[in-house]
């Protein structure tokens, strides 16, 4: 017996090869609803492209709702969309012949260094090309007007959120970063119209991020996000969206290219904020830098007894600490 779309709906004796996820989809075809069959048809016909699509992108391509894609995943006995993409990626990796990658064992150090450099440069260049001036200005305006700015993220994106907090803390005390997902939700529930929440999420489909955005929206807070996909469950709650480059597959989670593109946007926000509020930022940067310099000065003075290099190091540290926004890191 054949399904309406032309795929055979057959009963399989025994288990389907677990490495071939497409075969599993075909074997389960007669269990799908009409909307789920549209998802299955598209996935089978566009196996590679699906890996780089958000759940909203896939839903739009299939002309169904996000919930239909999620139900399709559940019918396939998956926890959610991210596990679906992981299954697809593993299936393709098992079926496809090995191809050169940045992690190829056949590269020497020189070619490996060149490959990684090119990947990082390409990610930043792509982020620059995706930069929307209006969205960027809107994000910067919300940042300036906010009484408090909260950076949130989950997993690898949390590291970027912490880096953003650390960077801005040198010039303003209105920034924070909460690491625990439950605490993030609690903080979001207490936010108001004077608060800005910046959510960093490559996929825009992480449940904890979406939940925090929903709670924050209900509380009246403004929301900005740094993400790769223009349309996703997360962006539906956001007032402004900053897109980062670098295509990251399910097996490449936490790639440095994606992180570099996120940090590029954070650095750009920081420099523009510094320029807009130059006097205040310069004063605060000097104060925060001095608080750290004093610690380094004590260590250097102990070493000074053993030679002249200690005095030189003290002078060098002091010069860099007060050289403005581009030299704010010690």
Domains with residue ranges and CATH for the chain:
21-95 (1.10.10.10), 113-276 (3.40.50.10490), 279-327 (no CATH)
Query: Residue 292's pLDDT is what?
Result: 84
Query: Residue 254's pLDDT is what?
Result: 56
Query: Residue 151's pLDDT is what?
Result: 98
Encode 154-189: b = buried (16+ Cβ within 10 Å), e = exposed. Answer: bebbbbbbebbbebbebbbeebebbeebeebbebbe
Whole-structure pTM value: 0.69
Query: Residue 106's pLDDT is what?
Result: 56
CB neighbour list of residue 308: distance below 8 Å, 6 or more residues apart:
none
Q: Which residues of the chain have pLDDT under 70?
A: 1-19, 94-107, 247-254, 297-330
Taking the C-alpha atoms of residue 212 and residue 218, their distance in angstroms, rounded to an integer, is 10
List, for residues 239-286, the tens digit of each pLDDT value.
Answer: 999 999 876 655 555 578 889 999 999 999 999 999 999 999 999 999
Tokens 């590291």 found at: 159
CB neighbour list of residue 131: distance below 8 Å, 6 or more residues apart:
242, 243, 268
What count of other Cβ atoms lies within 10 Å of the Cβ of residue 273?
Answer: 19
């Amino acid at each position: 017996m054949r399904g309406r779309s032309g795929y055979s709906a057959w009963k399989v004796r025994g288990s389907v090869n677990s490495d071939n996820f497409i075969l599993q989809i075909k074997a389960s075809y007669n269990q799908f609803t009409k909307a789920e069959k549209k998802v299955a048809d598209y996935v089978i016909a566009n196996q590679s492209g699906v890996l780089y699509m958000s759940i909203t992108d896939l839903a739009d391509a299939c002309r169904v709702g996000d919930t239909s894609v999620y139900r399709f995943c559940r019918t396939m006995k998956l926890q959610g969309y991210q596990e679906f993409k992981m299954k697809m990626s593993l299936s393709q990796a098992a079926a496809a012949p090995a191809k050169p990658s940045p992690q190829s064992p056949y590269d020497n150090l020189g070619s490996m260094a060149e490959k990684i450099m090119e990947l990082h440069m390409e990610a930043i260049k792509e982020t620059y090309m995706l930069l929307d001036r209006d969205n960027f200005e809107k994000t910067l305006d919300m940042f300036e007007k906010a009484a408090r700015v909260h950076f949130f993220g989950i997993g690898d994106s949390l590291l970027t959120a912490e880096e953003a907090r650390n960077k801005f803390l040198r010039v303003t005390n209105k920034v924070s970063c909460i690491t625990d997902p439950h605490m993030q939700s609690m903080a979001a529930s207490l936010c108001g119209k004077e608060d800005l929440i910046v959510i960093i999420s490559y996929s825009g489909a992480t449940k904890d991020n979406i939940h925090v955005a929903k709670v924050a929206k209900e509380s009246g807070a403004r929301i900005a996000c740094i993400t790769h996909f223009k349309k996703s469950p997360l962006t539906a709650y956001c007032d402004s969206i900053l897109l980062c480059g670098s295509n990251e597959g399910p097996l490449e989670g936490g790639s440095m290219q994606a992180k570099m593109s996120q940090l590029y946007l954070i650095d750009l926000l920081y420099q523009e904020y510094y320029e807009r509020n130059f006097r205040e930022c310069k004063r605060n940067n000097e104060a925060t830098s001095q608080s750290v310099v004093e610690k380094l000065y004590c260590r250097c003075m102990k070493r000074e007894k053993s030679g002249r290099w200690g005095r030189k190091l003290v002078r060098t540290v002091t010069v860099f600490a007060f050289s403005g926004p581009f030299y704010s890191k010690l």
